[in-house]
């Protein structure tokens, strides 16, 4: 089952729990707008190359659409549609005033120079500039993109529409980005974990963890768990997996990864096959028979702090990082409480509780807005 089919399955399950009218169900499932286009650039050697770009805007009943732009060779129509739909439910779960969108280019960023990436980003911006806007659709970074990518989009869009710092989030701090944004998704995962553990009378301190992925999100999760006294016994990235049952020295590993770009050759653990990571014994890991935090809730820290970034841009102020982090914890904790309440009402697990909460909020807004004439 691909990502789009899986997302639709969860949506339909939530729709049944909510007893949605079939007309509403059909309306919520159908994207607001889908854009597919060609991005042609001149490479540094003078040759021309073309890539396929996408922007899918799923729903705007709760506010402007919001979602990342990813550069990856496997970006395709179904993936972007699924991620746009998930953003709709995710923003509703944490109750920030946006709908869902997603975009991307089917390319391999590592095969492009910085100059070529800038050219590609500016062409991409030209293709979508008349379909995005601070009150329409606000992009953000995703896999293969970063604050620099957002800076190029902001600059290119501003050439066409005038100075528009709020056209993207995840920008460099110097261009109106928010403090705490880089760590936001990882920090949100930790706050979600703390909310779940607190319900069971536990805390991160003294528990063992396995973390799949050691990029921006995974490394922040590891660092924050380590700070709180958790013991991380295994981590992985695209180069393999590392295990130390006595606990990995996370600060040392972060320094090693920063210097070498890989987990390999770190002397504080043993390399294992990446497939073995998910069968390591630990306290926190998704497997059959344990409680699973739904991804549309657990990874919502990024879009939540993106919301804070837009608030700061629109009010022409800057929050300190302590304020950003405190507000993020408030939103994540409140969302967990709402998910649990939904689970009790509809007698479902956390995953379906999150989907049902998100779908229900969007459906309610759709009905309140009416169908027009």
Closest CA to 171 of 132, 139, 200: 139
> Does 185 count as an annotated binding residue?
yes
- Closest Cα partner for 336 from 322, 362, 354? 354
- DSSP string for residues in 117-141: HHHHHHHHHHHHGGG-BTTTEEEEE
Yes or no: say if 114 and 151 are a contact pair by the CB < 8 Å rule.
Answer: no
Whether 333 has a binding-site annotation, put simply, is no
Residue found by looking up tokens 């768990």 in the block:
225
Q: Could you give the residue ranges of the DSSP H alpha helices within the chain?
A: 3-18, 22-29, 77-93, 114-128, 147-161, 184-199, 216-227, 250-260, 295-298, 301-315, 321-346, 350-369
In angstroms, the CA 230 to CA 235 distance is 14
Tokens of 119: 């050219």
d(Cα 211, Cα 192) in Å, to the nearest integer?
A: 15
Say how many C-beta atoms besides its own lie within 10 A of residue 311's C-beta.
15
Closest Cα to residue 306, out of 34, 55, 90?
A: 90
In angstroms, rounded to a whole number, what is the distance separating the alpha carbons of residues 1 and 90? 21
178 is in an annotated binding site: no
Distance from C-alpha of 214 to C-alpha of 233, rounded to nearest angstrom: 13
Alpha-carbon Rg for the chain, nearest whole angstrom, is 21
Catalytic residue among 33, 74, 102, 171: 102
164 is in an annotated binding site: no
Helix or strand holding residue 39 (H, E): strand 33-42
**340 given a catalytic annotation:** no
Handedness of CA 272, 274, 279, 283 (dihedral sign): positive
Angle at 8 between CA 6 and CA 14, to 5 degrees: 110
What φ, ψ does residue 306 adopt, rounded to 5°? -60, -40
User: What residues have CB less than 8 Å from 351, skipping those under 6 apart?
Assistant: 10, 292, 294
**26 carries a ligand binding annotation:** no
Catalytically active residues are 102
Annotated binding residues for NAD(+): 185, 216
């Amino acid at each position: 089952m691909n990502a789009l089919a899986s997302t639709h399955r969860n949506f339909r399950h939530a729709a049944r729990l909510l007893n949605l009218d079939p007309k509403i169900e059909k309306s919520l499932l159908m994207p607001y707008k889908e854009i597919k286009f060609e991005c042609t650039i001149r490479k540094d050697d003078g040759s021309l190359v073309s890539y396929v770009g996408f922007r899918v805007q799923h729903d705007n009943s709760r506010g402007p659409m919001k979602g990342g732009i990813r550069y990856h060779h496997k970006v395709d129509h179904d993936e972007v549609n699924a991620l746009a739909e998930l953003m709709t439910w995710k923003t509703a779960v944490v109750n920030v005033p946006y709908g869902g969108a997603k975009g991307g280019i089917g390319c391999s960023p590592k095969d492009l120079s910085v100059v070529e990436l800038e050219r590609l980003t500016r062409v991409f911006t030209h293709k979508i500039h008349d379909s995005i806007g601070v009150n329409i659709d606000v992009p953000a970074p995703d896999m293969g993109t970063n604050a620099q990518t957002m800076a190029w989009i902001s600059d290119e869009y501003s050439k066409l529409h005038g100075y528009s710092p709020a056209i993207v989030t995840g920008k460099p701090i110097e261009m109106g980005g928010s403090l705490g944004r880089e760590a936001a998704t990882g920090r949100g995962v930790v706050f979600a974990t703390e909310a779940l553990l607190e319900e069971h009378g536990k805390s991160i301190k003294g528990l063992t963890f396995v973390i799949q992925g050691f990029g921006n999100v995974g490394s922040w999760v590891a660092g924050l768990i380590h700070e709180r006294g958790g013991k991380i016994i295994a981590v992985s990235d695209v180069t393999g997996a590392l295990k130390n049952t006595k606990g990995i020295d996370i600060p040392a590993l972060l320094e090693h990864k920063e210097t070498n770009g890989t987990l390999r050759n770190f002397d504080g653990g043993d390399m294992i096959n990446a497939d073995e990571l998910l069968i390591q014994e630990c306290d926190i890991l998704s497997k059959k028979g344990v409680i699973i935090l739904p991804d549309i809730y657990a990874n919502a820290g990024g879009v939540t702090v993106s919301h804070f970034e837009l608030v700061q841009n629109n009010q022409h102020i800057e929050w300190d990082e302590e304020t950003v982090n405190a507000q993020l914890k408030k939103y994540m904790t409140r969302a967990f409480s709402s998910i649990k309440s939904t689970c009790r009402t509809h007698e479902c697990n956390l995953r379906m509780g999150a989907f049902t909460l998100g779908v229900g909020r969007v459906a309610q807004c759709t009905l309140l807005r009416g169908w027009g004439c």
